Structure 1
Amino acid sequence: MPLTGYTIPRSPTGRSSLVPYPPWHYVGDFLVVEYWADPDKAVTVLPNGLDPHPDAGRCALVFADWQSCSDAGGELLDPSRSQYKECFVVVNALLDGEEVTTCPFIWVDRDFALTRGWLQGFPKKLGSIWVTRTFGLDSPADPGVRAGARFGATCAAYERRVAEATVTLERISETGPTHNDPPIVNVRHFARLEAGRHDEPAVHELARSRSRDRIVSPVWEGVATLSLYGAEHEEHDLLAPVRVGKGFRFTFGYTVDDQEIVKDIRS
């Protein structure tokens, strides 16, 4: 019997595969903080094939508390396989003149989400992420989604705090977040171990994320704070804020079963 499965480990039935076959369905609560980094530093994280945005320092930090599943939906009955949280930075850029974003740094707290991200081009690392939750009840422990509600989020990696943010809601947003709105184009990179060829990756390409069946709740906006902290094993503080804009809170869902390979950038 041949081994099967979408990702390793492949097995006789495929049930051991870390990531199931797409489509993958997602829904999650988001905190987004729009901000500006030093533009000269922001352009240093852009991959080959992307050009600086006219507003080169335009960035966003995103915290997401996710639930996801494959078509059969069995993960929803085994929540440790469906729930995860992540924190990531996006930088605005241009792809052949088109406004896009790219994600140079991201942390996630579950292995299946890390592997699924690598397949899509997100450079995920393991981290510890926490986000204020709301449950729709009138309780002192529930901020609710209303004017004056306060939300916070933190991210740590290798026991070091690397990011924290707060958002105090003021009103329903007319625009929603704009710094992370353009399509996201990331680098799918898989290294080669063969001696003498370590600098010749097996895969090194720009990939545009595609999704469908997108649905979003009303988006609230308000005042935000943001701090990025340096660590010996991280470089995201290159993108530390020099100016912080609005913060946003909303719930978002979509499905992924496709991707566009834009450019091979191995040479």
Structure 2
Amino acid sequence: MSPSSSSSFAPPFTASGRSALVQAPPWHYAGWLVNVGFSFDAARGAALVPPEVGVATGHGCVHFADWQSCGDDGREMLDPVYAQYRETIVVLEIEPARGDTSRRCFYCPLIYVDQDISMLRGWLQGWPKKIGQTWLTRSLPLIHPAAAPMAAGSRLGASLSVKERRLVDATVTLSGEASGPLGFLAAPTIGAIGWPDLTQAGHVAVPRYLRADIIDRVETGWVQGEATLRFHEHPVEELALLGPVQATQASAGWMGLTVRGAIAV
């Protein structure tokens, strides 16, 4: 099949394009998030932040998210195995290496997801996604012991496991008070995209740095809380290179956004 006979945005490349893993943007997302801000030894951030993008400040955020997503036609909403997924996003605050160095921004060195569709969408935006299993307490609109309502005293938990090994644990106790946005919800976030070329075996990929082009963001408001956070050692994953971390702030809530592409930085 010649390239001109394919209608696919991404592999597999077929004449109809129907079986492509990812359709072209825009991509619409809505979800429930538990967010935990943390501090760490800023010098350790050099292991995860490329010097081309900046220097770690010693502050970061972990986002545990339960998402639902779709394209413009909304067809995934009727077949939710294609729409729903959970992920854990780690972002580190940086002082940018270029541009406005006073502007707050983040770099995403690590992110884990349980859905192949989301993984490819993420790679195309610069989010370096790998497969992992995220669990987080849901808040339901009920006054009930099992509902974790958005009220003072409600307790939430979240965890991430990668290759059947625990990598992150967190707990949040809600205060009932309003919170501002944290992490990638508060400032632009940079990621890296790069592909090895097997026609040049042995050459490593040269990354480009992007941020998602996000529009139509909506929120219900964030409820703050107090948190605990722990990163575990892992034989492959490098999150624990940040060393001991201290939870500094936390929030939970719902949001929606649309990604229409990516912007080079």
Q: Same fold (TM over 0.5)?
A: yes
Measure, in 2, the Cα distance between the counterparts of 1:73 and 1:178.
28
2:72 maps to a residue whose letter is D
Moved more, 170-179 or 150-159: 170-179
Partner residue, 2:180? 175
Residue 150 of structure 1 corresponds to which residue in structure 2?
A: 155
Deviations 1:179-219 (A, max 9, x none): 852200111111122244523x2x52111222000001121
Query: What does 1:1-267 align with in structure 2 at a 5 Å threshold?
Result: 2-53=5-56, 56-95=57-96, 96=98, 97=101, 98-177=103-182, 181-199=186-204, 201=205, 204-262=207-265
Long gaps (5+) in structure 1: 263-267
Q: Deviations over 1:159-181 (max 9, x none)?
A: 00001111110032243326852
Q: Distance in 2 between matches of 1:115 and 1:102?
A: 19
What's the % identity of the aligned pairs? 35
- Structure 2: segments with no counterpart, 5+ residues: none
TM-score normalised by L of structure 2: 0.92
TM-score (norm. length: structure 1)? 0.92
CA gap 1:135/1:159 in 2 versus in 1, 3 angstroms: same
- Which residue type is aligned with residue 169 of structure 1? L
Evaluate the alpha carbon distance shift between residue 221 and residue 73 of structure 1 in structure 2; reply closer, same or farther with a 3 A threshold: same
Compute the displacement of 1:240 (Å). 4.1
CA distance in 2, matches of 1:242, 1:26: 30
Measured on the aligned residues, the alpha-carbon RMSD in Å equals 1.6
Report the CA distance shift for 1:143/1:196 in structure 2 as closer, same or farther (over 3 A): closer
Task: Provide the rounded CA distance (Å) in 2 between the counterparts of 1:35 and 1:23.
Answer: 32
Q: Return the alpha-carbon distance in structure 1 between the equivalents of residues 120 and 218 of structure 2.
A: 25
User: Does the aligned pair in 2 maintain the 1:92–1:179 contact within 8 Å?
Assistant: no
